[in-house]
Amino acid sequence: MLQLSRSAARALHLAALGLLTPPSAPAAPEDVMTAIRRMGVLQIDTISVVARSPYLVLWSRLGPYDPRWLEDALAQGHLFEYWAHAACFIPIEDYPYFRRMMVDRLRGWWNVDDWLEEHRDAAEAVLGRIRQEGPLRSADFEAANRPEGGWWNWKEEKLVLERLHTAGELMIARRQGFQRVYDLRERVLPDWRDEHTPSLDETLRAFALKSVQALGVARSRWVPDYYRLKKNGMQAVLEAAAQDGLLLPVAVEGWDDVCWVHASHQERLQQAAAGQLVPTHTALLSPFDPLVWDRSRAQEFFGFDYTIECYLPAPQRRYGYFSLPILDCGELIGRLDAKLHRKERILEIRSFFLEEGVQMDEARAARLARSLRSCAAWRSADRVQPCEQVPAVLAAALSVENFDN
């Protein structure tokens, strides 16, 4: 069994997720799909303090790019939306496995069948309009019955749309102003036949393999969380895949359990073991980036204790509403809370925290300043405005003229 140091395992992890080195060339539209296929899924979140999460996750890997490329990939049928780790954009070639999830109601926390039966008239009315009029947004339906108050006070028609989507009867044909546009499955995928749906066992194996491939190197207990699968039986799935040569067992320094590497990463695994994978990338990360969305994995791999605080009342926040982890050359060195002021064209750093023991020298400050300025320019901001917590050496680097450079 190959032995990996912790730093080599981290390098393999970063390489698999597309965060080992900076992009080697300006981004092109096809790079969006390459990045999503590498990660397996791209989590969706609508909070837009700096940029909506899926756009920011792609920027962390691609550098400046046109966010419309993501929307184009969905509209062109290269992606679809469904529940994976959470609500996600997913490569269309993985649809058969998610169809099994739909058919078997593996995402059944809404009791979809019972709910739709109780609201049969509303469901038929919604489906009837989409059949007759074509793809529609929630906004195209008048609110016949909207509950008062609460965060999720969706009107009945929105609830119907979401449950029909979970059941697999509707798909997201495209996004319009980031609003979902719903259409019938048979119109979005006219060639699909349910006899092509793989078995549940095939599906679970595929998700396990995809999880390990995305993670680069994975402890067994990390695997179920990637696609939010049940933990029971996952160890047997991994061991069977290893016996079939699809996974490689490795040992990682300091961990007493067997870890797994996808067979497609064999060459990269050898490079990691030889110390040839060197992290050189510096980037801000979305709170929903796959590098950090599993908080226990981030703690075990990087010693980074991270919690998103936007759902907490303001007095309970320590780091800020939407603090972004800072990746620098293979380490998670801290976090900052940022806000884009669109009219003023300013990216404001509202709070800044380095991890214990991390030093902000001139080289690190220059790397982070370049990343912050790149993010600001991508969001059409003219400058980065630091707060008092930003170290002086970083504030100085941010104040250098020739912003676009």
Q: Is the pLDDT of residue 154 over 80?
A: no
Give the pLDDT confidence score for residue 314 in this predicted structure: 85
| Placement of tokens 């290269």 in the chain | 78
pLDDT exceeding 90 applies to what percent of the chain?
88
Among 330, 216, 334, residue whose Cα is nearest residue 279: 330
pLDDT exceeding 70 applies to what percent of the chain?
95
- Cβ atoms of 370 and 282 closer than 8 Å: yes
E strand spans, 57-192: 79-83, 87-91, 136-137, 170-176, 179-184
3-state secondary structure of 381: coil
- Cβ atoms of 234 and 242 closer than 8 Å: no
3-state secondary structure of 175: strand
Give the pLDDT confidence score for residue 50 in this predicted structure: 96
* pLDDT grade for 150, boundaries at 50, 70 and 90: very low
Give the pLDDT confidence score for residue 151 in this predicted structure: 43
Partner residues linked to 384 by β-bridges = 347
| Placement of tokens 């997913």 in the chain | 90
Mean pLDDT of 14-42: 98
Among 123, 134, 111, 187, residue whose Cα is nearest residue 161: 123
Give the pLDDT confidence score for residue 147 in this predicted structure: 55
User: Based on the number of CB atoms within 10 Å of its own CB, is 2 exposed (0-12), middle (13-18) or buried (19 or more)?
Assistant: middle
DSSP-derived secondary structure letter, 257: S
Among 95, 107, 79, residue whose Cα is nearest residue 192: 95
User: How far are the Cα atoms of 16, 158, 203, 389 from residue 82, in angstroms, in the given order?
Assistant: 23, 16, 15, 40
282-398 placed in CATH 3.40.630: yes
Question: Measured on CA atoms in the order 279, 282, 288, 293, is the torsion positive or negative?
Answer: positive
- Cβ atoms of 307 and 301 closer than 8 Å: no
- For residues 334 and 358, what is the distance between their CA atoms, to the nearest angstrom? 8
Give the pLDDT confidence score for residue 400 in this predicted structure: 75
DSSP for 115-148? HHHHTHHHHHHHHHHHHHH-SEEGGGS--SS---
| Placement of tokens 């048979």 in the chain | 186
Average pLDDT of the chain, as a whole number: 94
Among 83, 82, 27, 78, residue whose Cα is nearest residue 55: 27
Give the pLDDT confidence score for residue 108 in this predicted structure: 63
* pLDDT grade for 144, boundaries at 50, 70 and 90: low
Span 171-213, pLDDT tens digits: 999 999 999 999 999 999 999 999 999 999 999 999 999 999 9
How crowded is the C-beta side of 367, counted as CA atoms within 13 Å? 18
E strand spans, 200-345: 218-219, 247-252, 259-262, 282-284, 323-328, 331-341
- Cβ atoms of 287 and 322 closer than 8 Å: yes
- For residues 240 and 330, what is the distance between their CA atoms, to the nearest angstrom? 32
Q: What is the pTM of this model?
A: 0.94
Span 316-360, pLDDT tens digits: 888 888 899 999 999 999 999 999 999 999 999 999 999 999 999
- Read off the amino acid at residue 275: G
The CB-based long-range contact list for 328-331 (8 Å cut-off, 24+ gap) reads 328/282, 328/364, 328/367, 328/368, 329/279, 329/280, 329/281, 329/282, 329/367, 330/7, 330/10, 330/11, 330/14, 330/20, 330/279, 331/279, 331/302, 331/358
Return the number of other C-beta atoms located less than 10 Å from residue 9's C-beta.
26
Q: Where are the domains of the chain?
A: 2-196, 282-398
